[in-house]
Structure 1
């Protein structure tokens, strides 16, 4: 079996366990909920199978829905993020993405930060729109999205650099 498959499988399981055991319990002021499990989608190798990413993203989302009893909002937002991910790469990295030389878990650059920000923001907008599902709560959706995006983004950056592979 390929080492990339093993690393991604371990990452998949560990992020689900961390989300369910730790991060799903955090609900600061009723508005801030971190969702770092989307790191699996963000760190999925650029040159890997796109259909595999869509399937894995759906499984990630539906697993989170089962644990959180949330009726498919995680699956829908994860699947949308996985589908839009190549567009976000092209927007953030340009030619580096075309030549598939992008690695997210290296030094934080403006390109990497913009990719993470756009991805997390998109996931959260879709997630909270589907979760609340009323435009009369527009300001509530916006507040939850912004605060959770900030917290998730900080947490994702910390997790990326805490578990960054060392170079030999």
Structure 2
């Protein structure tokens, strides 16, 4: 096994464990629910196996659904994010994505921030839309998406800086 695969497996398990043990028990004011487990999909290598990402995203969401009793909404939101990830890369990074020279766990730049922001918004909007499953709750869906996105991005940035490799 190569080191990139081991890092991805470790990241998958660790983020899932943190989400299940710590973040699943957080719900502020009924509107703010952090979901940093999706950082696995965000930090997946750009030149990594695309079908491997889709399969891993499905299992990531499925395991979240099993622990949250949510009936498949996490799996769907993770699959939607994994599907749109190349388009978000192309939008956020432009030509750099074409040459696959992107490292997401480096210093936060506006391009990296916009990529993380769009990814979190797509995931959260899909998740909360499927949870409510009615367009009559669109205002509630948008408020929950906005507030949870802000909180999740803060947590994701903290996690990225904690796991960032040191340059010596």
- Tell me the alpha carbon deviations over residues 38-85 of structure 1, each in whole angstroms, 9 at most, x when there is no partner: 000000000011000000000000000001010000000000100100
The ranges of structure 1 where at least 4 consecutive aligned residues each deviate by more than 2 angstroms after the TM superposition are: none
1:92 aligns with 92
TM-score, reference length from structure 2: 0.99
- Distance in structure 2 (CA, Å) of the matches to 1:135 and 1:95: 37
2:142 aligns with 142
What number of residue pairs does the alignment pair up?
Answer: 168
- Distance in structure 2 (CA, Å) of the matches to 1:136 and 1:48: 40
- Distance in structure 2 (CA, Å) of the matches to 1:135 and 1:92: 29
Gap regions ≥5 residues in structure 1: none
CA deviation after TM superposition for structure 1 residue 135, in Å: 1.1
| Equivalent runs, 1:71-86 vs 2, <5 Å | 71-86=71-86
- Distance in structure 1 (CA, Å) of the matches to 2:142 and 2:86: 25
1:107 aligns with 107
1:69 aligns with 69
- Tell me the alpha carbon deviations over residues 78-137 of structure 1, each in whole angstroms, 9 at most, x when there is no partner: 001001000000000011110000011111111000000000000000000001111111
1:45 alignment partner, SS class: coil
TM-score, reference length from structure 1: 0.99
1:165 alignment partner, SS class: coil
2:49 aligns with 49
1:60 aligns with 60
- Distance in structure 1 (CA, Å) of the matches to 2:7 and 2:67: 23
